[in-house]
Structure 1
Amino acid sequence: MTQQPATATPTSGAQAASDWWRDAVIYQVYPRSFADADGDGMGDLEGIRSRLPYLAGLGVDAVWLSPFYASPQADGGYDVADYRAIDPMFGTLLDADALIRDAHELGLRIIVDLVPNHSSDQHEWFQRALRDGPGSAARARYHFRPGKGPDGAEPPNDWESIFGGPAWTRVADGEWYLHLFAPEQPDFNWDHPAVADEFRSILRFWLDMGVDGFRVDVAHGLVKAPGLPDLGGHDQLKLLGNDAMPFFDQDGVHAIYRSWRTILEEYDGQRIAVAEAWTPTVERTANYVRPDELHQAFNFQYLGTHWNAAELHKVIDTSLDAMRPVGAPATWVLSNHDVTRHATRFAHDSARGTQIRDAGDRELGLRRARAATLLMLALPGSAYLYQGEELGLPDVTDLPDEVRQDPAYFRGAGQDGFRDGCRVPIPWTTGGSSYGFGPGGSWLPQPATWGGLSVEAQTGDPASTLELYRAALAARRAEPALGAGESVRWLDTPDGVLAFTRTGPDGTVFTCAANTTSAPVTLPSPQGRTLLHSAPKAPESGGGTVVLAPDSTVWWTSAPAAG
């Protein structure tokens, strides 16, 4: 199939600014759950394309698309069979080209997922490795090893899959292959030069198509420790653990990203790469965004922080301090396709992790989620939003077992296996068989309450979460003191409260205060006018003080009101 490459750079003047990515708000689309154009119950590229005006109106700067490549879909498309083809369930390369073009015309940039740690077991390279047998050149592109024991019946080492069970699967000729995730996802051997060459070619293919960047899946996992040593007593199933692992965050990954950076800089329009790198510390994460490597790295330490002022203060300081020496922007994120939505995580008074199996207090969760969003969008750097969070969507915690598709759910160990709850197709309209998701049904069942949370239901309602997001993103673009930066000035506050100021180049002073407690808190009134508040009512003020509602965040600005 031949085609003309899409326009490389968005036409919006606002997006043409230098280092656009330093303060960008990037919206993650999970393609199968965003919008369905053909009525098969599965989202697709044409559906995404039809909703691009909504995203431009929301006020985001870029759209990150989770995988849409040809795939058997053993792990939601993160098992790629062909990196240069679109899976038929999502459309064609021409659909991708049209989507990129339309996005650029609307001033939106497009970031695509790249999955370099592993392929699908249906990838032509792996299928050839199976055919060619032990010792073949094709097998050297993956990690094939003989087993242990007199008959080779034991795995080559004691590594376990992130999804549970051994990280090794035995093939018919007796050798074993490594897969840190599902057996259908064999890990590439990045010590083999053909692997590096192939991915440099893949980068150029999509850059020539006009994409503006890549989100690098499992960026910390490409290089394994020499000899693939046993782990011994380490807890191998903690993806978010603090232990150093021989299959994660090896120093050799950085040479790969330095080579990728040179390719990105061959193209105009400031193309970027973003690391999904689970590392023991924020300082280790900073290694991925040194000036000659990637541009951003997800801040998973922030995502995992509870709604607690002391914890938030610490992780914000640590994040900013770690990024400052390497000149990279901090990033902030509250939800994605792998964790329980923050409107549900925060619906519990007790400390919880990123995977929650019960709904909790919906009203409490939404109140805290709105406050957490305003806090996040006030911080210096770049912010990531996950589709549907602008609607205040909770996780769907009561999906029947028979509809679940998360591979971790069926393996009975490792991750909790409840990621389907954050992947339920989002609602667009108040009614219809799938609340506007598409002309048919939806691949995961939507709750009966979804219509009341839809875009249609919330649009124009000043008290809605959607209008709060729209207002916050508009203010973020308009306020000189918001966006890019590397520090905040903390204010003295009572326990349970965070407050800081930021100063714009024109001298405008922006103030943000967040009350993480369940009781009202009185503070000295910040200078300027109230710009935005997450609680239903504006904060009460008078006599030089202001009252913050429980679980709320307020913005103030010293700039005079328009008009």
Structure 2
Amino acid sequence: MQDINVQGTAETTTDVQVHDAHPGGEWWRSAVIYQIYPRSWADADGNGIGDLPGITARLPYLKALGVDAVWLSPFYPSPQADAGYDVSDYRGVEPLFGRLDDADTLIARSHELGLRVLVDLVPNHTSDEHAWFQAALRAAPGSAERERYIFRDGSGAHGELPPNNWESVFGGAAWTRVTEPDGTPGQWYLHLFDSKQPDLNWQNPQVRSEFEDILRFWLDRGVDGFRVDVAHGLIKADGLPDWSGPLNMLELSGDQTRPPMWDQDGVHEVYRDWHRVLASYPGERAMVAEAWVQPADRAALYVRDDEFQQAFNFEFLQAPWRARDLADAIDRSYLANDAVDAPTTWVLSNHDVVRHASRLGLPVGEPRPNGIGVDDPQPDAALGLRRARAATTLMLALPGGAYLYQGEELGLPEATALPDEVRQDPTFHRTAGREKGRDGCRIPMPWEKDATSYGFGEGDQPWLPQPEAYGDLAVDQQEGDPASTLELYRRLLRVRRDLDLGEGALATVDLGDDVLAYDVTSGSQTVRVIVNFGAQPVQLPADREVLVASEPDIAGQLPTDTAVWLQ
């Protein structure tokens, strides 16, 4: 057992201030926001796909959980080629999910419960079934209709080759050739994602004006803000030069040139315009950027005081389960964001990554997989959940904002045994199955163990099959069990709110190489959060109260892969 003094005396520890307190700030500086993936949350009509009335019916669960707001992934009219991230109409509701008045009811009910509502906005691309793109296909090269998108003549003697060598994030080429109205092979259009998701041309004033109107449409309906998809991708480098480096910005080393399709300086002009739109409405409306950008000071440009209010901290999400790596990610994040007076916004799971209850059960330091299949190396389920509970206990102590992904409060693992024939992620199909994709983190929620589809809906065939293990993790199996992951989340959120930890100051406490420790001070209260990464337990002081621990019955010792809040 490590005999580490966690009292924090000057003789045994070194405290270094990392972040100053920010009491009484706007709601989004310290809010905990819960992501709902609409097709997987609750199915009110029994067709196997979640919907807006289902969400509305389950909102009291989120109020009881203790979150401050909800973020809804896209529910707009869409062919669903990419689960709604291929939008054909930004001012409506996909009939699978309900009607526009169902969205109004959801927003109103959320506000009655004291929950704010963010909706997803997808500005990098539309569906190929959007009226604009259909008009572009009917129009001639060089037309105003085509100028809303990125059409180019091909290379090669007869234009038979793509305009450049860019690849799609989902696999394969990022260009598709169209057939012109006269039946001849024609121009190519850019799609950084699926071929059914053509990229918009954000140099076009009509595109910019249209999206400002879309913002106003939803703000007028009462939403509190927007999560902006692919926020770093709207502007492409002049000339669309070839690129052979990694597509994932977080794979770049510090001295590499930014890819010509990501994080171009021109995106910031767009978001300054959007900021002015939101600022014209009452009630502290907010935007959060999905910006896969590094280094941290480059990512912080998105949260300057005239752009976004938040940006997801993907460096923290991807940090290996080691004390030094997590400490470095935390330090860099605060240094960069505090320099522009912006909150740091923490996240561990979402609809695009392997759930952290499984991801943290894989060997430490290996690259994060894009999905896990039955023939792939399997996570250690018990170890992954233990580390996930500790990681969340750390995250929710950190000042700033935080995002939770539906089902993580149940400890849901990735579904790794999905049959290939049920997979729907375009990544799986565009890579011929080499990458399993994101279906495994999008499985419908389990609410009741003994109900049809575990209470997700009355139909027994949800759009993705639920693993048998989800039954024992259902909400009704965890409520009231103090050892459950659900009750751990409820305690963490209650104490975080009661002590205003999201508004607090943060100081590091040096307790050794394998221990990560911080003091979080808000007002007159100081909470010490400790995470043990070492092989041996850490002795805790008898005169400090345990507020929350990631594992039950720690009995004065902090075991490996466990976190605690002490007062």
| TM, length-normalised to structure 1 | 0.92
Instruction: Give the C-alpha shift of residue 518 in structure 1.
Output: 3.6
- Secondary structure in 2 matching 1:78: coil
> Could you tell me which residue of structure 2 aligns to residue 260 of structure 1?
274
> Could you tell me which residue of structure 2 aligns to residue 80 of structure 1?
87
Match status 1:548 vs 2:558: yes
> Could you tell me which residue of structure 1 aligns to residue 468 of structure 2?
448
- Secondary structure in 1 matching 2:339: helix
Deviations 1:348-378 (A, max 9, x none): 2342333252432111111111000000000
User: Structure 2 matches for 1:90-239, cutoff 5 A?
Assistant: 90-173=97-180, 174-231=186-243, 233-235=244-246, 237-238=247-248
Matching residue's letter, 1:370: R
Residues 1:415 and 1:472: Cα distance change in structure 2 (over 3 Å): farther
8 Å Cα contact 1:371-1:551 kept in structure 2: yes
Match status 1:249 vs 2:263: yes
> Could you tell me which residue of structure 2 aligns to residue 472 of structure 1?
492
Instruction: Give the C-alpha shift of residue 239 in structure 1.
Output: 5.3
> Could you tell me which residue of structure 2 aligns to residue 35 of structure 1?
42
Deviations 1:205-250 (A, max 9, x none): 000000000000000000001111112x423x43542251101000
d(CA) in 2 for partners of 1:257 and 1:393? 35
Instruction: Give the C-alpha shift of residue 327 in structure 1.
Output: 0.5
d(CA) in 2 for partners of 1:518 and 1:93? 54
Instruction: Give the C-alpha shift of residue 495 in structure 1.
Output: 1.8
d(CA) in 2 for partners of 1:84 and 1:352? 42
Residues 1:263 and 1:137: Cα distance change in structure 2 (over 3 Å): same
d(CA) in 1 for partners of 2:284 and 2:543? 37
Instruction: Give the C-alpha shift of residue 324 in structure 1.
Output: 0.5
Q: Give the RMSD, CA atoms, in angstroms.
A: 1.4
Instruction: Give the C-alpha shift of residue 415 in structure 1.
Output: 8.9
Instruction: Give the C-alpha shift of residue 519 in structure 1.
Output: 2.8
8 Å Cα contact 1:468-1:534 kept in structure 2: yes
> Could you tell me which residue of structure 2 aligns to residue 10 of structure 1?
none
- Secondary structure in 2 matching 1:498: strand
8 Å Cα contact 1:164-1:415 kept in structure 2: no
Instruction: Give the C-alpha shift of residue 417 in structure 1.
Output: 3.6
Aligned with 2:428 (options 380, 390, 409): 409
> Could you tell me which residue of structure 2 aligns to residue 327 of structure 1?
341
**Unpaired stretches in structure 1, ≥5 consecutive residues:** 1-16, 541-546, 558-563
> Could you tell me which residue of structure 2 aligns to residue 560 of structure 1?
none
> Could you tell me which residue of structure 1 aligns to residue 380 of structure 2?
361
Match status 1:502 vs 2:531: no
> Could you tell me which residue of structure 2 aligns to residue 534 of structure 1?
550
Matching residue's letter, 1:204: R
8 Å Cα contact 2:320-2:364 kept in structure 1: no
Aligned with 2:531 (options 514, 518, 540): 514
Matching residue's letter, 1:335: S
Aligned with 2:75 (options 65, 68, 77): 68
Matching residue's letter, 2:492: A
Aligned with 2:478 (options 458, 476, 482): 458
8 Å Cα contact 1:165-1:413 kept in structure 2: no
- Secondary structure in 2 matching 1:224: coil
8 Å Cα contact 1:163-1:413 kept in structure 2: no
Match status 1:314 vs 2:328: yes
8 Å Cα contact 1:526-1:556 kept in structure 2: no
d(CA) in 2 for partners of 1:500 and 1:221? 35
d(CA) in 2 for partners of 1:502 and 1:427? 34
Matching residue's letter, 2:512: P
Instruction: Give the C-alpha shift of residue 281 in structure 1.
Output: 1.2
Instruction: Give the C-alpha shift of residue 530 in structure 1.
Output: 1.1
Deviations 1:405-452 (A, max 9, x none): 000001117993421000010100011220000011311111112111
d(CA) in 1 for partners of 2:195 and 2:201? 16
Match status 1:420 vs 2:439: yes
8 Å Cα contact 1:71-1:120 kept in structure 2: yes
8 Å Cα contact 2:508-2:519 kept in structure 1: yes
Q: Whose relative contact order is higher, 1 or 2, with alpha carbons under 8 Å and at least 6 apart?
A: 2
| TM, length-normalised to structure 2 | 0.91
> Could you tell me which residue of structure 2 aligns to residue 4 of structure 1?
none
- Secondary structure in 2 matching 1:277: coil
- Secondary structure in 2 matching 1:435: helix
- Secondary structure in 1 matching 2:92: strand
> Could you tell me which residue of structure 2 aligns to residue 9 of structure 1?
none
Deviations 1:102-144 (A, max 9, x none): 0000000000000000000000000000001211110000000
8 Å Cα contact 2:249-2:294 kept in structure 1: no
- Secondary structure in 1 matching 2:199: coil
Matching residue's letter, 1:307: W
8 Å Cα contact 1:289-1:296 kept in structure 2: yes
- Secondary structure in 2 matching 1:274: strand
Q: How many residues align?
A: 529
d(CA) in 1 for partners of 2:362 and 2:201? 42
- Secondary structure in 2 matching 1:313: helix
8 Å Cα contact 2:248-2:292 kept in structure 1: no
Indicate the larger mover: 487-496 or 157-166. 487-496
d(CA) in 1 for partners of 2:400 and 2:249? 25
Instruction: Give the C-alpha shift of residue 551 in structure 1.
Output: 0.6
Indicate the larger mover: 355-364 or 465-474. 355-364
Deviations 1:41-91 (A, max 9, x none): 000000000000000110000000000000000101000000001000000
Deviations 1:491-525 (A, max 9, x none): 121221101102222x21111000123431235x3
- Secondary structure in 2 matching 1:490: strand
Indicate the larger mover: 341-350 or 64-73. 341-350
8 Å Cα contact 2:503-2:522 kept in structure 1: no
8 Å Cα contact 1:162-1:414 kept in structure 2: no
Instruction: Give the C-alpha shift of residue 549 in structure 1.
Output: 1.1
Instruction: Give the C-alpha shift of residue 315 in structure 1.
Output: 0.3
- Secondary structure in 2 matching 1:126: helix
- Secondary structure in 1 matching 2:564: strand
Deviations 1:301-356 (A, max 9, x none): 00001111010010000000010010000011100000000000111234233325
Matching residue's letter, 2:408: E
Residues 1:256 and 1:180: Cα distance change in structure 2 (over 3 Å): same
d(CA) in 2 for partners of 1:528 and 1:212? 40
